[in-house]
Amino acid sequence: MSEPDSQAGGTVKKFLYINRRAPHGSNYAQEGLEVALIGAAFDQDVAMAFLDDGVFQLKSNQDTAEIGTKNFSATYRALGDYDVKKVYVERESLESRGIGEDELMPLVYEDEDDDWEEKPLISVVDEAELREIIDQADVILNF
């Protein structure tokens, strides 16, 4: 585990939110997203990983008008504004579900170190990379 950075006002830890559930069949996805945004608002180092059925959370063009629930998928677009810069999606999970990378929401963040240029937030990673990402986290929360 890497040494957490010290800052005035407290220690910054590397939080990893692991999301493994589909978005509309239960509340896990919506609550996971809300907790991640709260963590980011408290200036923690927040990364999110989407795997197994969690990859469905990031599917583009979700429209819940006919099932009578809130369409929280629009809220993922706020991740960049909350300074979440790392959103990992597992390639193997996409492939076994027939979802292409181009079918994911085009999430972006503005890079303050590069003249606020908009950059893609989502990185598709393979199983081996994800193992390392999990290993490097200080705190892991599961939804």
Partner 1 sequence: MSAILHTVNKSPFEKNSLATCLRLSLPGSHILLIEDGVYAAIRGGSMSDDLKRAMSDRTVSVLGPDLRARGITEDGLVDGVGVVGYDGFVHLAAESSKVQSWM
For 47, the 3-state DSSP assignment is: strand
Q: Which of 5, 10, 27, 69 binds partner 1 (CB under 8 A)?
A: 69
The CA–CA distances, whole Å, from 116 to 72, 81, 105, 108, 111 equal: 26, 12, 20, 11, 5
Q: Which of 1, 7, 61, 115 binds partner 1 (CB under 8 A)?
A: 61
Segment lying near partner 1 (by CB under 8 A), choices 10-18, 32-40, 50-58, 111-119: 50-58
How are the residues of the chain apportioned to helix, strand and coil, as percentages rounded to the nearest 5? 35, 30, 35
Please check whether residue 17 is in contact with residue 141, taking contact to mean a CB–CB distance below 8 angstroms: yes
Q: Which of 6, 7, 63, 114 binds partner 1 (CB under 8 A)?
A: 63
Q: Is residue 7 part of the contact set for partner 1 (CB under 8 A)? A: no
CA distance 74 to 120: 16
Binding mask 73-102 for partner 1 (x = CB under 8 A): x----------------------xxxx---
CB of 20 to partner 1, least distance (A): 9
- Whichever of 53 and 83 has its CB closer to partner 1, that residue is 53
Q: Is residue 62 part of the contact set for partner 1 (CB under 8 A)? A: yes
Q: Is residue 19 part of the contact set for partner 1 (CB under 8 A)? A: no
Q: Which of 4, 12, 34, 53 binds partner 1 (CB under 8 A)?
A: 53
∠ CA 100-103-109 to the nearest 5 degrees? 115
CA distance 40 to 78: 11
Residue type, 19: N
Q: Which of 12, 13, 59, 134 binds partner 1 (CB under 8 A)?
A: 59
